Structure 1
Amino acid sequence: MTKFLISIVGPTAIGKTALSIKLANYFDTEIISADSRQFYKEMQIGTAAPTLEELSAAPHHFIHHKSIHENYSVGAFEKDAINKLDALFKTHNIVIMVGGSGLYVDAITKGLDDFPDVDSNIREQLNEQLKNEGLTALQKQLKELDHTSYNTIAIDNPHRVIRALEICIGTGKPYASFLNKIKNLRKFKTITIGLTANREIIYDRINKRVDIMVNEGLLEEVRTLIPYKDLNALNTVGYKEIFKYFDNEWSLDFAISEIKKNTRRFAKRQLTWFKKNEETIWFDYLTETKEIIQNIKENIEHD
């Protein structure tokens, strides 16, 4: 029988986790997370990772399985997740994948793109430029060299910006021109379910989620991570803003407002990324689960 991966995508705070658990329970299967921020066990509140109750409601994989002190690339995740899927498909015909990290989702469903080798000195120079001139200068450079990537990658992530720039500079071609060239064959078929809402609703849900994070102890969580704030895993929304508060650069109210603003920007980029997949079946976030299940079953039966 054909094996199916049900991939649930959509902007942050739209309800992907809740749907994934309902689907996992209905199909009596397990969940793979493709949320790169939720890999790290030290980052619970600020990443809106599944709660202990949610984790116990269905078997989860790739949640808090790494430490912020470990380097964990999308390539390593692809290898680990495919191995896990191979194992899960021995006892399940359907597996659920959920996550808002578009690159990590694509790594599993399509395979990573093949990039040419470039001079390592370019990355060193870009890291030095980041240190001296800041991220904004690199973002501006990327916008000039590759407007497509500027609008689709995680532009607030220095690692992603530098990766795109080093390809642009090293090859003389846009980073985006190397995307989607070679696809790795998969032993399963993917049905992608997208959750969405109008922008005002998405933004309101994000704002409320940030308030909940603060009430649940975000400041205390970030405080324990201050000694490690320069680690790449912590250079992310929800943490970097609070670090500025603890460094007395920002007021707490302003830091919280920046988390909301940056998360809204992130959600906008997520939708831009996920809308590229024309095979995604989109549902309003209030759609009854039974309707989504029926759609999935029909897609499987008609395959």
Structure 2
Amino acid sequence: MNTAIIIAGPTAAGKTSLAIRLARHFGTRIISADSRQCYREITIGTAKPTPAQLAAVPHYFINSHSIREQVSAGIYERLSLGYAAAIFASHPVAIICGGTGLYLRAFAEGIDEMPAIPPPVREAVRQAYAQHGLPWLQAQLQQRDPAFYATAETGNPHRLLRALEVLEATGHSISSFRTSSPHPRDFRIIKIGVTLPKPELHANIHQRVDEMMAEGLVEEVRSVLPYRSHNALQTVGYQELFQYLDGTLSLPEAVDQIKTHTRQYAKRQLTWFARDQDYHWFNPQEEEKIIAFITQELDKV
């Protein structure tokens, strides 16, 4: 049976390098499950695979879209299943690698189609968030959609923004559009989670942020200022530098906040993946152990 191997985990844990090694070992290709790496205009702040890594193994959903386009989890589900079918046409194994939990869930289980959000509604919500910040966003949903808020990732502005947009556009809670009914897949899925001890993960995060700044992240953020309301830019690394460019943060303050917010994001990623008991967890440096586990799973009837 065809098999999709999911490699998930927090940012800066080493997913990309591991996925490339696994893809070369099993002679296959990689589908990215990162909600921002698909955009051609943002490279430094999204920690895309390097040109050498992209040359080593064919990747799908990297540099596939323009920042002028909106890509949702529903769109990703259709695209990723198409990519998997293309891989399975000549390879029995496909690698799916990324840290966007909602995209991985969309690939593995399917996702309910959300209503389209009129651009004026999206723009109004994004502008209000930019002006008032996360506490305002949390208060809006806590007051207007308490049932959703009770189970939401309240520290995740992307999810909260989406919920408020749906509420504004339809008058209904985003929860009312979710059926939570998994869609069967015609291939097997093996879920691998990778992470590092907290001190090592945090050190990797800090080093990565410093490297991004040295590579020119400020100029990249400046280049996408006209698109600052885009979903992909409501995220760590871009929001803080928008504030720097607006004059509300100094550059050292912005860098410190990027590091802090990235650590917090990594913690939310781990919490998300920990809810799924199908993940088998490893240190990403345990390559032989991971390969042995996957091989054993592949050999099962």
Query: TM class by shorter-chain length?
Result: 0.7 to 0.9
- 1:3, CA displacement in angstroms? 0.5
Helix, strand or coil for the counterpart of 1:204? helix
Match in the other structure for 1:145: 147
* Superposed CA offset, 1:58-110 (max 9, x none): 01000011010012221111111111211211111000000100000100011
Amino acid at match of 1:219: V
Amino acid at match of 2:198: R
Report percent identity of matched pairs. Answer: 41
Check whether the contact 2:74–2:112 (CA below 8 A) recurs between aligned residues.
no
Q: 1:235 to 1:147 in 2, by over 3 A?
A: closer
Check whether the contact 2:74–2:113 (CA below 8 A) recurs between aligned residues.
no
State TM-score, norm by structure 1.
0.87
Helix, strand or coil for the counterpart of 1:281? strand
Amino acid at match of 2:45: G
Deviates more, 1:20-29 or 1:218-227: 218-227
Whether 1:231 aligns to 2:230 is yes
Amino acid at match of 1:65: S
Q: How do residues 47-66 of structure 1 correspond to structure 2 at under 5 angstroms?
A: 47-66=46-65
For structure 2, the 5+ residue unaligned runs are none
CA distance in 2, matches of 1:133, 1:214: 26
Helix, strand or coil for the counterpart of 1:37? coil
CA distance in 1, matches of 2:183, 2:300: 24
Deviates more, 1:195-204 or 1:44-53: 195-204
- 1:246, CA displacement in angstroms? 1.6
State TM-score, norm by structure 2.
0.88
Whether 1:290 aligns to 2:295 is no
Helix, strand or coil for the counterpart of 1:145? helix
Match in the other structure for 1:74: 73
Q: 1:31 to 1:127 in 2, by over 3 A?
A: closer
Check whether the contact 1:145–1:168 (CA below 8 A) recurs between aligned residues.
no
Amino acid at match of 1:28: G
- 1:179, CA displacement in angstroms? 5.5
Match in the other structure for 1:255: 254
Match in the other structure for 1:267: 266
CA distance in 1, matches of 2:299, 2:253: 52
Whether 1:212 aligns to 2:214 is no
Q: How do residues 27-46 of structure 1 correspond to structure 2 at under 5 angstroms?
A: 27-46=26-45
Check whether the contact 1:139–1:161 (CA below 8 A) recurs between aligned residues.
no
Match in the other structure for 2:103: 104
Q: 1:6 to 1:41 in 2, by over 3 A?
A: same
Match in the other structure for 1:83: 82
Match of 2:157 among 137, 155, 162: 155
CA distance in 2, matches of 1:149, 1:17: 31
Q: 1:196 to 1:237 in 2, by over 3 A?
A: same
CA distance in 2, matches of 1:278, 1:168: 34
For structure 1, the 5+ residue unaligned runs are none
* Superposed CA offset, 1:132-180 (max 9, x none): 7544222134354335543378335553342575699725xxx568767
Amino acid at match of 2:110: G
